[in-house]
Amino acid sequence: MSRRKPVKDNGFTAKDFLVTTPEEMQRRGWEQLDVILVSGDAYIDSPFIGVAMVGRILEREGYRVGIIGQPDIESAEEISRLGEPRLFWGVSGGSVDSMVSNYTATKKFRNSDDYTPGGKNNKRPDRATLVYTNLIRRHFKHTAPIVLGGIEASLRRITHYDYWSNKLRKPILFDAKADYLIYGMGEIALLDLTHALEKGESPTTVRGVCHISKTPEPDYIQLPSHAECLKEKERYIDMFQYFYDNNDPISAKGLCEEVDGRYLIQNPPCDYLSEPEMDGLSAMPFTRELHPYHRQEGEVKCLETIKFSIMTHQGCWGECNFCAIGVHQGRTIRTRSEASIVGEAKAFTAYNDFKGIISDVGGPTANMYGYECNKKLKLGTCDHQRCVDSRHLCSSMKVDHSRNINLLRQVRAVPGIKKAFVASGIRYDLINEDKQHGYDYLKELVRHHISGQMKVAPEHTQQHVLDLMGKPGKQTLIDFKKLYDKLNADEGKKQFLTYYLIAAHPGCTEADMHELKRFTSEELKMNPEQAQVFTPTPGTWSSVMYYTEMDPETRKKIFVEKDTRRKEKQKEIVVKKQQFRSGFAS
């Protein structure tokens, strides 16, 4: 039982959070919780933290919810401190896949963790979802159902390539021995599953839920089996294509995959939230603080950026092949209203430690706020056709920054707001594409929403690599840079562009990195500092390429660098400092 003293911050005490200690249960007069959530993160009560969002949604429905963050896996003390839930355990690896959180792209252990108090990476186990499920099973026999959720479970819900063991792993439900899995954002699936369990009904038909069955689901798409994927890499590509194409609530079909004589059943996705529903979730009473239970161990670094940030929308249709946002959040933009976002900005001013600075107003891609393809909204995402790729934007997607411009103007007009930065990713190709409002949007950013530099992510410049990445060509970057430099000159500002670049992506050779270095030196007049080695994470086409060493579209063999030392060399090529002709080093 905890003996920690409550810590007060911004007027909040433990009573303002969801329950995480036995004392808090006693103060509320609760003998048993309905749901206990277990997470690889410390309990941070923020709308940016998935497990906190889940807890607040259930609380709003009248359920008694507790959270156990980063429990000790060597004893029963912490996992048992809240007792046993009446309805279910909810298990998440945390805000980041635990293997991505714990290891670099070259498989070196990370010493720091932004979601752990004190910042030392000593509390998140590898494969946290599996470990926590086994921990519960070990200390609670014949317990309430265990439901997996979060990005680790969502992206590993089918047969997937695991970079850290260098093999295809079974769907995570089979390894975790859990009962159900909620995939994607899953807000509606969460409530439907909870209500089913409350009524004593099986949630196996709930949209957005996966489960294991002894028999196949005949009306669902029959995926290549796990054994077939192990035997033939092209069958793994086939399986991933079906998986990728069936993530939209409107158009998706259910999926069925045979694994050692049993079947993974993935029901079609749950519906997306409407704008009023998104506004409602954002208005829930988050403290935006680390729970007092954890505070005596230190602060969590992630709060430096997320505490006073605003998420304007969910989803991304950019479809970068190395990114899993489309599979997890979806490829359709769901926006919050301007009134909701402005109201959140106003609420910040009541915090004692708010200095008038909003760290970010954005989403997965900041400038996708406020518009979508009308065809997609009616019929769902297209199979085998992207909204945008390395060479063109679909003619059905009408890029329009006007609503975003209006939003930013309203936010910075809030009394007490000194600066509202846009720090989320920005697709510069969409700014170029928007002939009516792109220029004005960039002007707004340059004048008001950039802190000395703007971050963009070209990732590479060689067209064959960009094609495999799904990123726009280098001429798009050149055109954008000219516009950006012009606007800064017109405004009398010295603001720079910083560039995220990727080394050792499938298809990329050392010769390609030398050409990238030449381009950054001669065309951009800078030495890159933001290069990173590619990490094959579950749920992405780039990971499929890495494992199969094939272009998934043509099925032709491609070069894939798999030697750790040579991966590092690719990175070193592009970040190596060099003198420019002007006589100074950038």
Detail the residues annotated as belonging to a binding site for [4Fe-4S] cluster.
316, 320, 323
Q: Which residues contact 141 (CB under 8 A, 6 or more apart)?
A: none
Can you point out the beta strands (E) in 410-486?
Answer: 419-420, 453-459
What percent of the residues of the chain are helix, what percent strand, and what percent coil, each to the nearest 5? Answer: 35, 15, 50
Nearest to 193 by CA among 206, 177, 178, 183: 206
Say which residue the tokens 């410390």 belong to. Answer: 42
Nearest to 7 by CA among 281, 266, 296, 287: 296
Strand 255-259: give its sheet, edge to edge: 65-69, 35-39, 88-92, 146-149, 180-182, 209-213, 262-266, 255-259, 221-222
Annotation: binding site:
316, 320, 323
DSSP 507-550: T--HHHHHHHHHHHHHTS-S---EEEE----TT-HHHHHHHH-B
Nearest to 365 by CA among 450, 438, 444, 423: 423
Nearest to 255 by CA among 225, 226, 217, 204: 217
Cα distance between residue 83 and residue 516, in whole Å: 56
Residue type, 331: R
How many other C-beta atoms are found inside a 10 Å radius of the C-beta of residue 252? 18
Query: Are 87 and 81 contacting, i.e. CB atoms less than 8 angstroms apart?
Result: no
DSSP 93-143: --SS-HHHHHB-TT-PBPSB-TTSTTSBS-S--TTHHHHHHHHHHHHSTT-
DSSP designation for 271: P
Nearest to 119 by CA among 299, 290, 296, 294: 299
**Which class for 559: exposed (0-12), middle (13-18), buried (19 or more C-beta within 10 A)?**
exposed
Cα distance between residue 488 and residue 466, in whole Å: 28
Query: Are 129 and 98 contacting, i.e. CB atoms less than 8 angstroms apart?
Result: yes
How many other C-beta atoms are found inside a 10 Å radius of the C-beta of residue 300? 26
**Which class for 71: exposed (0-12), middle (13-18), buried (19 or more C-beta within 10 A)?**
buried
Work out the angle between the directed axes of helices 275-282 and 50-60 (0-180°, nearest 10): 100
Structure token pair of residue 316: 């991304």
Q: Which residues contact 178 (CB under 8 A, 6 or more apart)?
A: 91, 133, 146, 147, 148
